[in-house]
Amino acid sequence: MASYSFTCFLLISFLLSHSDAQPFSSSRPRGVVLPFHKDPSTLQYVTEISLGTPKVPISLVLDLGGKLAWIHCGQKQQVDSSSYQPVDCKSPQCLLASSNSVQIPQCCNKTCSISSTNTVTRPTSSGQLGSDVATVQSGYEPGQRPYLWLRGENVTARRFAFGCGTTSLNGLAKGVNGMAGLGRSGLSLVSQFSAAFHFSRKFALDFQFGNVYFGGGHYIQETLRPSFIYTPLISNPYNQDYSTDYYIGVKSIQIDGENVAIHKKLLSINRKNGVGGTKFSTLLPYTAMETSIYKAFTSLYVKRAKAMNITRVASVKPFGACFNSSTMVTSYPEGLVVPHVNLVLTNDVVWRVVGAKSSLKYVNDNELCLGFIDGGLKAGTSIIIGGHQLQDNLLEFDIPRSRVGFSQPLFQLVGPTNQLVVG
């Protein structure tokens, strides 16, 4: 049960002499690079930033649709740092916390009291909005081809705001301190870094090298990936004021060119209740589809696989269709030859679920399962594109232009080191 009691545990009331809008910084890097890794047990993506004085490394689960960063600080509701300050309830940062929120922040002894949600297991509890010095690594383009970001010196955002309270860490990767939201909100990492360092409100998720690049620019080595294909980002018309998720428009799903039979209304977002549509999530390891879509998708995939003489084997949970890999043909440069899954997007560009690597998941040495899961009949969002289908893409979220770019590898063969093999 979510607790919305805005009890204030503050012992000391800080008098903040000023409350300027922009967290200011030590220098102006072109960009910021946050490395991340995939936690092997939860399949969540975990990043680290240094916080406070003295600097303490804080591990956070990346939440692409999350509103802000929050840390489990316990009842004392503050981190052990000499530079920590509760955010004043009249400050612009507190105002930002109240937009994109069903829960309006309360004033508690002049401090901005907010609720933070563990978006994996959904407990919410109240805490305060605090701010402290965040130290991150700058990044820049070398300015000549091939474009690949380099890491620069450490830079600090002096008034990095985050939720600090009693929200449970249940369901999150072991050892993490909280979550880092990258969503459509004024307090997300992208908004705060772009305000602190004066660069554009863009970030890219590079699953291959495990980096989030903030600030925009050329991230890609052009011999490995073609340039970005863009599709508009959509906001949920029902709850655009507080939905911080990134939605895109899917028009149809095709398997080997054949359309999956889908009730069209599931693909759009219902204005009256916000249900439906397609969004991204880095918290779901596999793409989830509303039950009727999932069933139609799986049965068409199975039919196409059968036509290729791929033998089905007993299903392994949570997956609904598994296959014998020794009945699949291998070709170069495709790798295992399997049915092709394409998402046709609203502006008629195609998101390819690239080859066996993205559409299927090895469950043992000889068995591969269709790497999608049943999201249930009451799925709030019809299609949630999860980690397994995201990770072959380089994704750029361009917030000022309200679009997302994706770049898929030219070839999908996987070598023994799990690196991309270029044909």
User: Which residues sit at the interface with ligand NAG, rule CB under 6 A?
Assistant: 8, 10, 13, 50, 109, 135, 137, 153-154, 308-309, 313, 324, 326-327, 366
The two three-digit tokens of residue 400, written as one number: 């000022």
Residue 61 CB partners (closer than 8 Å, separation 6+): 39, 44, 45, 46, 120, 172, 173, 176, 178, 179, 180, 283
Other Cβ atoms closer than 10 A to 376: 12
Q: Compare residues 67 and 304 and give the one whose CB is closer to ligand NAG.
A: 304
Q: Compare residues 113 and 185 and give the one whose CB is closer to ligand NAG.
A: 113
Q: Compare residues 366 and 419 and give the one whose CB is closer to ligand NAG.
A: 366
Task: Judge residue 316's burial from the number of C-beta atoms within 10 Å of its C-beta, 0-12 exposed, 13-18 middle, 19 or more buried.
Answer: middle
Q: Compare residues 36 and 406 and give the one whose CB is closer to ligand NAG.
A: 36
Quick one: which of 332, 345, 359 has its CA closest to 406?
A: 345
For the CA atoms of 21, 23, 27, 30, the dihedral, rounded to the nearest 10 degrees, stands at -80
Whole-number minimum distance, CB 309 to ligand NAG, in Å?
Answer: 4
Q: Compare residues 86 and 277 and give the one whose CB is closer to ligand NAG.
A: 86
Could you give the CA distance from residue 47 to residue 43 in angstroms, rounded to a whole number?
A: 13
Q: Provide the 8-state DSSP code for 362.
A: E
Cβ atoms 112, 103 nearer than 8 A: no
**Residues facing residue 11 across a β-bridge:** none
Element (H, E) at 372: strand 372-376
Whole-number minimum distance, CB 324 to ligand NAG, in Å?
Answer: 4
What residue type is 250 in one-letter code? V
Whole-number minimum distance, CB 30 to ligand NAG, in Å?
Answer: 17
Whole-number minimum distance, CB 325 to ligand NAG, in Å?
Answer: 8
**Residues facing residue 85 across a β-bridge:** 131
215: left (phi over 0), alpha (psi -120 to 50) or beta: left
Q: Compare residues 17 and 223 and give the one whose CB is closer to ligand NAG.
A: 17
Whole-number minimum distance, CB 418 to ligand NAG, in Å?
Answer: 24
Whole-number minimum distance, CB 106 to ligand NAG, in Å?
Answer: 12
Q: Compare residues 21 and 307 and give the one whose CB is closer to ligand NAG.
A: 307
Q: Compare residues 50 and 200 and give the one whose CB is closer to ligand NAG.
A: 50
Whole-number minimum distance, CB 58 to ligand NAG, in Å?
Answer: 10
Whole-number minimum distance, CB 205 to ligand NAG, in Å?
Answer: 20
Name the pairing type of β-strands 106-108 and 85-86: unpaired
Whole-number minimum distance, CB 169 to ligand NAG, in Å?
Answer: 22
Whole-number minimum distance, CB 91 to ligand NAG, in Å?
Answer: 18
Whole-number minimum distance, CB 10 to ligand NAG, in Å?
Answer: 4
Q: Compare residues 40 and 54 and give the one whose CB is closer to ligand NAG.
A: 54
Q: Compare residues 229 and 313 and give the one whose CB is closer to ligand NAG.
A: 313
Could you give the CA distance from residue 105 to residue 95 in angstroms, rounded to a whole number?
A: 8
Could you give the CA distance from residue 130 to residue 155 in angstroms, rounded to a whole number?
A: 20
Residue 234 CB partners (closer than 8 Å, separation 6+): 247, 248, 249, 269, 277
Residue 143 CB partners (closer than 8 Å, separation 6+): none
| Termini Cα distance of the chain | 53
Helices vs strands, H then E, count in the chain: 6, 30
Q: Compare residues 157 and 233 and give the one whose CB is closer to ligand NAG.
A: 157
